[in-house]
């Protein structure tokens, strides 16, 4: 705050206090049949255990921990489900950074595939004998089966029309799963003026006012910081121009590093309003079942569903998207095998209105 670093021992102490508070919310969860938000559960804990309340700088650090929890779900604490917030399985090995981005991974996975970019899907028509996919401009593709891997926000917006309609239970799963927003404001500087740490935090009286900067210089050698607002703050910033959003992020940075130099370049994401995403990733909302992820994954006839929002174990993650993609591809392969009994019918060719046996992957990211 104001150019002064919060003492590390206080950060550690408040982190331990936050863990204690979350353990107390477990008791609240056990005592209540009905679901509630994490925010309400924490309020109940404070009413019962007033000694867990923190004041002054410690309170502000606690808000930062809550801010990071909200960033994990890309949603505000008052919308996150107490019943299901900790259902995700955490893989061992800690966090890693894709220094070169995901493009090398995508290029490797894409080898040998016929991928059509610039084809925005508008309608998917399924028949017993196959599926017809219509894209903007009216062009159509025909396949035996389709893997639908579009973001949850796109499914919620109904920008893809399904004929016949998806079953009520499938539409309910789409509607009831939450989709959060966490954006990135990337700032490139001409020199490094910050400490050599993985991230920088700005503490505040509320989690809304807290900030989080990822230091890419430590991993990549480039003079880049990434500001990562989530939830309501991210939605508010999306209403700004890119220049205003970058200025806002820089203002937050100046709060902790008053001598910061202005960025020479910036990039701003708009996951909540981007027509190809309409959100960042899924999370469990209050009062809804965690098995919605599995319901979203269940095939409908010859439509197979994949993506992070179809993963019960790893929602909101790349490994969740990847693992469900493998499952959908295998389910799709088995359907074609059941129909034709042979694998060599797969052909790496797609033609307009040409009946083929290639499972068609739809992804708008």
What pLDDT sits at residue 356?
37
The dihedral built from the CA positions of residue 104, 110, 112 and 114, taken in this order, carries a sign that is negative
pLDDT digits (tens, 9 = 90+) for 190-200: 999 999 998 89
Longest dimension (CA), the chain: 70
Question: In whole angstroms, how large is the CA radius of gyration of the chain?
Answer: 23
Pick among 3.50.50.60, 3.40.50.300, 3.20.20.80, 3.30.70.260: CATH of 113-178+304-340: 3.50.50.60
Q: Tens digits of per-residue pLDDT, 269-316?
A: 999 999 999 999 999 999 999 999 999 999 999 999 999 999 999 999
**pLDDT of 187 above 90:** yes
Helix (H) or strand (E) holding 199, with range, is strand 199-202
Whether the predicted pLDDT of 342 surpasses 70:
no
How far is 151 from 159, CA to CA, in rounded Å? 11
Q: Which residues, 6+ apart, have CB-to-CB distance to 189 below 8 Å?
A: 223, 224, 225, 261, 262, 263, 264
The pLDDT of residue 352 = 46
* Residue intervals in the chain for CATH 3.90.660.10: 183-269
CATH of 183-269, one of 3.40.605.10, 3.30.450.20, 3.40.50.300, 3.90.660.10: 3.90.660.10
DSSP state of 240: S
164 preceded by cis ω (within 30°)?
A: yes
Q: What are the tokens at 39?
A: 């925010």
pTM of the model as a whole: 0.86
Proportion of the chain above pLDDT 70, given as a percent? 93
pLDDT digits (tens, 9 = 90+) for 51-88: 999 999 999 999 999 999 999 999 999 999 999 998 88
Q: How far is CA 182 from CA 43, 241, 362, in A?
A: 25, 17, 23
Residue 242 has pLDDT above 50, yes or no: yes
Q: Which residue has the tokens 């919310």?
A: 25
Confidence of residue 362 (pLDDT cuts 50, 70, 90): very low
Residues of the chain with CATH 3.50.50.60: 113-178+304-340
* Residues 235-263: b if buried by 16+ CB within 10 A, e if exposed: bebbeeeeeebbbbbbebbebbbeebeeb
Exposed / middle / buried, residue 298 (Cβ in 10 Å: 0-12, 13-18, 19+)? middle
């Amino acid at each position: 705050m104001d150019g002064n670093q919060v003492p590390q021992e206080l950060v550690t102490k408040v982190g331990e206090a936050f863990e204690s508070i979350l353990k107390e919310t477990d008791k609240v969860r056990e005592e209540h049949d009905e679901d509630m938000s994490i925010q309400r559960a924490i309020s109940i804990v404070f009413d019962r255990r007033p000694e867990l309340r923190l004041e002054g700088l410690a309170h502000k650090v606690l808000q930062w921990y809550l801010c990071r929890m909200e960033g994990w779900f890309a949603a505000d604490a008052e919308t996150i489900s107490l019943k299901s917030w900790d259902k995700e399985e955490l893989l061992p090995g800690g966090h890693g950074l894709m220094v070169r981005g995901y493009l090398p991974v995508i290029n490797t996975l894409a080898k040998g595939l016929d991928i059509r970019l610039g084809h925005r899907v508008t309608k998917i028509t399924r028949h017993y004998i196959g599926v017809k996919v219509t894209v903007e401009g009216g062009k159509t593709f025909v396949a035996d089966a389709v893997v639908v891997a579009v973001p949850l926000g796109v499914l919620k917006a109904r920008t893809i029309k399904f004929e016949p309609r998806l079953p009520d239970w499938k539409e309910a799963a789409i509607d009831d799963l939450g989709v959060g927003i966490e954006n990135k404001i990337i700032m490139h500087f001409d020199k490094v003026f910050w400490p050599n740490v993985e991230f920088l935090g700005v503490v505040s009286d509320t989690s809304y006012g807290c900030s989080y900067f990822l230091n890419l210089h430590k991993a990549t050698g480039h003079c880049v910081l990434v500001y990562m607002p989530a939830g309501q703050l991210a939605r508010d910033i999306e209403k700004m121009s890119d220049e205003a959003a970058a200025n806002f992020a820089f203002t937050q940075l100046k709060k902790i590093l008053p001598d910061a130099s202005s960025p020479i370049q910036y990039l701003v994401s708009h996951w909540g309003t981007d027509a190809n995403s309409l959100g960042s990733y899924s999370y469990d909302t209050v009062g809804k079942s965690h098995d919605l992820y599995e319901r979203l994954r269940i095939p409908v006839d010859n439509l197979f569903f994949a993506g992070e929002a179809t993963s019960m174990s790893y929602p909101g993650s790349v490994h969740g998207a990847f693992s469900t993609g493998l499952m959908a591809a295998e389910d799709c392969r088995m359907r074609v095998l059941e129909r034709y009994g042979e694998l060599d019918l797969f052909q790496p060719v797609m033609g307009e209105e040409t009946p083929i046996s290639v499972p068609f992957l739809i992804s708008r990211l």
